[in-house]
Amino acid sequence: MSSAVSHQPDGRPRGRGLGLPFPGEPGPANALTDVAGVEVGAVTLVRGDGPLAVGQGPVRTGVTAILPRGRSGVAVPVFAGIHSLNGNGEMTGSHWIAESGRCEGPITLTNTHSVGRARDASVRWLVERAGIGALADAWGLPVAAETYDGYLNDINGFHVTEDDAMAAIDGASPGFPPLGNRGGGTGMICYRFKGGNGTASRVAEAAGRRWTLGVFVQANFGQRDLFSPLGVPAGRLLDVPLPGPKTPKPASDGSIIALVATDAPLLPHQCARLARRVSLGLARTGSIAANGSGDIFLAFSTANAEALAAGPDVPQRLDFLPDAALDPLFEATVQATEEAIVEAMLAADTMTGADGRTVHALPHGPLVDLMRRFGRI
């Protein structure tokens, strides 16, 4: 097991470092960035303490940026597909993905009331950094998605700026992604423990070759009593205070955005099929896709770059896997989603935010003890 699979760069243990027996073979870093070319960056905003003063803070938020082909390949779209398990949320650009089967430009994740600024920043970045402003007919419909962080954060203060989102895109790299209380995940809550960013990857064999698939989540959903990683009823048995009692009470349903990346050559409808399998990974952790939860997923393939970069008048030839060969990738998606959600919780720290509200982290030691009790370790 590589050090990145078992521990974060700062030395804190990940799930596998704690001995949690997640199924499947992870990639070298057990991360979205195991898919070659994918880059991730983040800007984290943490300022102030005490009573909520709209427009001033406390601030507990941020923005995460994902470049499917990295900065050097930002002009080349990827084949993509989407799935909305429950639509109480926002993902801009989704109509164009459904229509064209393509995702273009940076993908940004932030809080609910900053999604417009993040989307606009992606367009501005494409104009100012990627050079599309020099093209008279240039346009963009980038993806920006959100979950709600208003329990800990001054969400109506609009603290995420276009410059913050631009900086997150500028800072994207192929290194280990920012987990837990960072970027768009800064103020998020998962199963009423501290949530945020999580990631995992799998290596799967399909059609005689080995492919890499990675999942990245911004996790902000779930009822405490339903949390059941690896089939263990941890939410009911762990003695950890619930958020509160200070009002407003945090929503128990919340939202999750999940991104699936793979280097396997997939067509758009196959990407959409992967995105649907994220739902099964959520269910493994205990999600019921509650009424107020925005559960929206995007899957993309980094293959076929040459064909997708070709001009409109050039015949294009594509590689793609047969539909009958996709089962290993379906399984990889389900496995990596479950692990990514737990990773988001394990990486997060206890946070106190607006009006002194505190959300406690998922405790490592008691979780390991519980896993031993149920025979998982």
Active site residues: 255, 293, 295
Picking from 76, 64, 367, the residue whose alpha carbon sits closest to that of residue 186 is: 64
- Residue 49's CB: how many other CB atoms inside 10 A? 12
Residue 230, by phi and psi: left (phi above 0), alpha (psi -120 to 50) or beta? left
Task: Determine the Cα–Cα distance for residues 185 and 145; give it in Å rounded to an integer.
Answer: 12
Task: Determine the Cα–Cα distance for residues 257 and 197; give it in Å rounded to an integer.
Answer: 10
Pairing of strands 351-352, 143-147: unpaired
Picking from 320, 222, 232, the residue whose alpha carbon sits closest to that of residue 271 is: 320
| Cβ–Cβ < 8 Å for 190, 90 | no
Residue 358 burial (C-beta neighbours within 10 Å; 0-12, 13-18, 19+): middle
